[in-house]
Amino acid sequence: MTHTIIRAYDPRKLMWKETYDPDDDGVIAIANTEADMKKADWDTNSDDKIDVAKTEADMTKAEYDPNNYGFPVVGTYIPSDDLLAQDETEKTTVKGDWECLYEFVVELGEGIPIAYGLRIKWEMKAGDANGVQAMVARNGVQISDIKSTTDITNYVAFQVDVGSFRRRDRIQLWVKSGSTSYESYVRNFKICGAFAVKQVKSISFTQTV
């Protein structure tokens, strides 16, 4: 009887244990050098069966652990124009201080511990020449540049790409009016993104504001 001894490559104790098939014999081997890490498990056709990466380019769809969580992230959400959640309601503010007008709680599907990037869109117009400002926040902390407009006639569209989001994180749009006498307007808040690896995964959002 032949016994196979499996060795795992994990020099930094980060659980980067990738398998590959360097001999193309259909038998999965274990990476023993850092160079071997360029051939990782992936599933190109979403049939829930592991294919084997043969080129470095294949690593764009590979299991990886970029933030050293100790477990692989199989695919992730990235910014795109694909709509995931929205609130088209027109909301107003006359506060001279920041106010959270939209908030969604991230609900990630099983096997997706983090969404690495999402695209946030909205439209707004000012109440007067003092303008209106808005920023995207995660759990109350600013994560985007402040966007502004002084247009009092037409809605102006904005979008920012932001990340990363874990399960139960809150995605928020904070708005501040330049005037405390005239209402500023915001509408069409949208969360957009696409799954980077074409597998059956899910993400959803629960609106709280």
DSSP output for 112-139: --EE--EEEEEEEE-SSTT-EEEEEEET
My answer on whether 18 and 96 are in the same domain is no
What's the CATH code of the domain at 142?
2.60.120.380
My answer on whether 11 and 81 are in the same domain is no
Bridge partner residues of 134 (DSSP): 147, 175
My answer on whether 82 and 130 are in the same domain is yes
Q: 99-111: per-residue pLDDT in tens?
A: 999 999 998 766 5
Give the burial class of 21: count Cβ atoms within 10 A of its Cβ; 0-12 exposed, 13-18 middle, 19 or more buried.
middle
Which pLDDT does position 132 carry in this prediction? 97
My answer on whether 153 and 106 are in the same domain is yes
Q: Single out the residue in 22, 50, 72 at which a domain terminates.
A: 72
Q: Single out the residue in 72, 97, 117 at which a domain terminates.
A: 72
Whether 127 contacts 152, CB under 8 Å: yes
Which pLDDT does position 206 carry in this prediction? 84
User: Is the pTM for the entire model greater than 0.75?
Assistant: no
Helix (H, G, I), strand (E, B) or coil at 192: strand
My answer on whether 60 and 108 are in the same domain is no
Which among 202, 194, 173 is positioned nearest to 185, based on CA atoms?
173
d(C-alpha 157, C-alpha 142), whole Å = 19
Question: Token digits for 86?
Answer: 């929205």
Which among 116, 120, 149 is positioned nearest to 133, based on CA atoms?
149
Q: Single out the residue in 57, 72, 87 at which a domain terminates.
A: 72
My answer on whether 87 and 137 are in the same domain is yes
Regarding predicted confidence, which is higher, 205 or 110? Answer: 205
Q: 181-195: per-residue pLDDT in tens?
A: 999 999 999 999 887
- Residue 178 pLDDT > 50: yes
My answer on whether 154 and 186 are in the same domain is yes
Q: 122-165: per-residue pLDDT in tens?
A: 999 999 999 999 999 999 999 999 999 999 999 999 999 998 88
Whether 67 contacts 114, CB under 8 Å: yes
My answer on whether 142 and 203 are in the same domain is yes
Count: domains in the chain:
2
Question: Token digits for 70?
Answer: 């100790």
Which pLDDT does position 154 carry in this prediction? 97
User: Domain containing 44: what range?
Assistant: 1-72
Q: Which of 48-52, 112-116, 149-153, 200-204 has the lowest mean pLDDT?
A: 48-52
Q: 37-78: per-residue pLDDT in tens?
A: 444 444 455 555 555 444 444 444 334 444 444 444 445 677
My answer on whether 45 and 119 are in the same domain is no
